[in-house]
Amino acid sequence: MVKQKKNYIAEKKKNHFIKAVIWAGVIIAIMGAGILLLDTRSSYFTVVAAVLVLPLALHITRFFAFAKYKDPSPKQAALLEQMKGHYGLYHSAIIPDTTCTLYFEHIIVTTKSIYFISKNKEIIQKAKPILALRLGNKGIQNSKLHFIYAENGKTIKNATIRIEKDACQVGEALENTIKIIDGMLM
């Protein structure tokens, strides 16, 4: 089951950009209405426009937070979506942490394991201790965490065979683990 679509980051960037433009338009309209109606900038219209800068800043910040990430390859995403069994699949998974932000092209949750797939070896090395600690605090054993360096499509294809074997069982543990991963993502 796909929990996060393969074009998640592109959708988020577009969504926050559109909302930022709308809020900027609202601020300009209110400010302009105040100047036209009262013939001065110092009015309640200016105060309202100043308060509305907060949602504008929020959406601009979120847009730039997503701007440095790219969605994974559609071919790799399609390979993972064709897997059989019971699993949770996240594309473009961003996990914020106090020390760094972790980006995985894909995260796959099965009843037995959690697979973190990335094209970047450095991210995998950084992620191992951070995720072992965070997920260990939630009761998930370190032996359930698997990190896959996806250098090419062949690696993904080999990983799908291994993951499909784990994905044949369904249970309450799968739903609980999916809830934990949902809570970690940005």
Give the pLDDT score at 66.
Answer: 92
Which pTM value belongs to this model? Answer: 0.84
Per-residue pLDDT of the chain (186 residues; tens, 9 = 90+): 778 888 899 999 999 999 999 999 999 999 999 999 998 888 899 999 999 999 999 999 999 999 999 988 888 888 888 888 888 899 999 999 888 899 999 999 988 899 999 998 999 999 999 999 999 999 889 999 999 998 877 888 888 888 888 777 777 778 888 888 888 888
Q: Where are the alpha helices (DSSP H) in the chain?
A: 8-38, 44-51, 53-67, 74-81, 121-137, 153-166, 172-184
CB 67 within 8 A of CB 159: no
Q: What is the pLDDT of residue 33?
A: 92
Q: Which residues of 127-163 are buried (b: 16+ CB within 10 A; e: fewer)?
A: beeebeeebeeeebeeebbbbbebeeeeebeebbeeb
